[in-house]
Amino acid sequence: MSVVESRAKPTMATTGSSVAASVAALGKIRELNVFLALIVVGALISLATPYFLTTNNLMGVFRSFSMTAIMSIGMVMVIITGGIDLSVGSVLGLSSLVTAICFGSGLPTAVCIGAGLLVGVAFGAFNGLLITGIGLPPFIATLGSLSIGRGLMYIVTRGVPATPDTPDIFAVLGQGYVGPVPVPVVIMFAMMIGFSILMQKTRFGRHVYATGGNEQAARLSGVKTNRVKLIVYILSGAIAALAGVISFSRYLSAEPASGFGAELDVIAAAAIGGASLSGGVGSVAGAVIGAALVGIIANGVVLMNINTYAQQAITGAVILIAVSLDVLRSRRKGG
């Protein structure tokens, strides 16, 4: 019975705004639970190994999952509209490559960063127009741009990583620290706060939820759903490109395979954080927490010296257990 109740929730409401209100409330409960799961898993790992709960390790872990977390912020907005963006891994790779090429031809730092970000905006706009203009399903449109992006990388690199010389100031973005906190982690938290406010407190945010909750109802109540979709795909592309620029700054090497398969990690982070792939449900903070959960498990299995061949299966099992507990808890609460 309770399953039916929670599933039926978004469709029971008839107008865009009440859909938005109810799913936003649901989202808050969900992200709190995933956060609890994160704490529990972290506590278990720190009991098992003394190396986990050190400042250096925690900062290292945060920096490791920050790329997935940053991209999941763009992804969760797309997923909330009922779409999906499979091109984020390719965009990350291509933007880091374009940034590298710009440095290689001696352009100033700001121009190189701008060019990298532009790749994401262009891919996002391309995706958005295919989906809203031609009416392609998001899965197909972004699958196509995934291939195009990856293909362009192979054409340009011919398989050789691009490793140009860069000014020291650029390395701060990926390798620098603010106090003990790595710069990419600072960026991640700043974006999490900024986009949470955008999604929870602004009209645009409500429109994003409404578009995914019930697109027809949203359109009837005056939401320009196509415009909303176009914007979230552009945001997702731009954010993935930002991750690409940061990642190039961190490794100073644009690998032809960088970001390969990253879209799955990013989608998983959003879904673990409570986003529903059928749209209307999810939150920015939840997606970041989802990325964190996957990140600390990946770190934990190495620190605990778990057999490498078993690591992937264990990672999967821990994620399933953590999220199942979270779902069961919120169901008991009647959420």
Binding mask 103-142 for another protein (x = CB under 8 A): ----------------------------------------
Cβ at position 63, least distance to another protein in Å: 9
Which residues from 38-77 bind another protein, rule CB under 8 A? 49, 51, 54, 56-57, 60-61, 64, 67
Length reported for the chain: 335
The token pair that represents 3 in the structure block: 């399953």
The distance of Cα 28 from the centroid of its chain, to the nearest Å, equals 18
Q: Does 251 bind another protein (CB under 8 A)?
A: yes
Cβ at position 44, least distance to another protein in Å: 16
Between 149 and 213, CB nearer to another protein: 149
Euclidean distance between CA atoms 221 and 95, whole angstroms: 38
Helix, strand, or coil (residue 100)? helix
Which residues from 179-238 bind another protein, rule CB under 8 A? none
> How large is the angle between the packed helices 109-129 and 138-157, nearest 10 degrees?
140
In this chain, which of 173, 303, 322, 323 binds another protein, going by CB under 8 A?
303
Host H or E run for residue 181: strand 181-182
Host H or E run for residue 178: strand 177-178
Q: Does 17 bind another protein (CB under 8 A)?
A: no
Q: How many C-beta atoms lie closer than 10 Å to residue 151's C-beta?
A: 12
Euclidean distance between CA atoms 273 and 292, whole angstroms: 10
Euclidean distance between CA atoms 267 and 262, whole angstroms: 9
Between 96 and 132, CB nearer to another protein: 96
Q: How many residues bind another protein (CB under 8 A)?
A: 35
Which residues from 255-274 bind another protein, rule CB under 8 A? 255-258, 260-261
In this chain, which of 159, 179, 222, 334 binds another protein, going by CB under 8 A?
159
Euclidean distance between CA atoms 59 and 67, whole angstroms: 13
Contact positions toward another protein, by CB under 8 A? 49, 51, 54, 56-57, 60-61, 64, 67, 154, 158-161, 163, 175, 247, 250-251, 253, 255-258, 260-261, 298-299, 302-305, 308-309, 311
